[in-house]
Structure 1
């Protein structure tokens, strides 16, 4: 049992960390306006600050220790940024070229997605961090593109869900090629949590991959895969061996429909068409289309879902070429 004194101390620590995070969150620019930093914060049990470096074209996770922001690379080398005592400047002295950034906006450059998921939605639309999101980016394994909503699974008393996964390619001339890739077999416990997922290749000849999920109460702790083990903190973020939050490929800016379901997701440092667009039939998510920036010859990349009794039974991923 936590004593009243210990609980008060813990709350003061969390409040201090949250204050520190909010102090650095926003947009920072050099005096000549030629370089900038986008700074976002996320996490309560394991707070982190995420800094986007346009010159590096990537976000990096940092821990705020007083006036120092610290990031560790996979080789354990340390990178740090210095926050001035008045909180008005951030100094980057890494790599020998010293840069000083001044805050020009106190608003987070990205927005979190906090849509409450109803018990009638198979997909879990709710999340309390930037990293999660309904199929915004695929998980580490292309066969595991989403986490179902536990409330839906419990309400429907679902123990197993089997989904057929197909891939279709449409050439510039209009020729269509479709092939079945694998079956996804999700197994659930009585709380609606995933216990295992099997990726069963179509046609035989390849081994079935099995992913095993471990929890501490309602918190996902790890996913054991055929090739590695993914560790998670109590904010539902994947973390490395130092408990440093792993940064996703992208942090989205969300827009919503009138029913509060996601409509578009756009990168805060890009202009033009949204990276992802979400389409519904009634309340069911039926299609997600994205601009595949990694493949410039792709005009459109869409994933469509077919349901039976509210549960997806078929996924078709289609890429349309120029």
Structure 2
């Protein structure tokens, strides 16, 4: 009798669970959740600048995700923008060249993403005192999050005035920047593959009237870029040697170490395979026999720290 009662209790429990399961499945199938449309998703997650419309902002910080303004290649981020958002569809951007503001379209997308002036951003903070945006690396409407590692911070002009903050002071490099560069310099001295561009390029000065040097000139546009231009990583120098042993013209890369010593890296000109060994020998001879003897070399520096850097030498010899 006891076994029969236990059997009936188990059977009753199974029947109840089965009925509840079927009822749940019936309700689920009767009202399936409708997928959210793209337009609805964008409308729900889109950011808005209505709270900061008409407030002038000035960029005070531009840094990488690790909090420093330099990357491993030696490129330095420099804040420079001034903006005034006039609507969710319009932003005024200051041109330091024309010294005036220009109205540009502002396009809001989903997930706090927007673009203006040819750049894409993700809004991280929007208040009447400050703005913080993540700069996005976008290609064919696809975001490369790995390379989206730059953050820009703006302060409202009124906030700067109220807090007695100086823009130039805020934009200065930090102790963290200095420590980072010092570590990069240490690594570059141990591993040539970790050499980085010098913000203050190598300076070559002639000690002989027969040797004429034209030092590298960096253009302003080369420094206003998110990527290290070749002219910054490989600054070019022209050296003319009069009364040389022969007429020659060669181009080659050299590493200048933190003590100002020259080290041959590689030829930077086309040559036949059977000429390569002898031509490199000539280049090294020019470097050792002329450049090391007749040039005073000041190594490249970043934040006042001397470090290894690469330069491109264009050397011309005149025997007459």
Q: What range describes the TM-score normalised by the shorter chain of this pair?
A: under 0.3
Normalised by the length of structure 2, the TM-score is: 0.24
User: Which protein has the bigger helix share?
Assistant: 2
State the structure with more CA Rg: 2
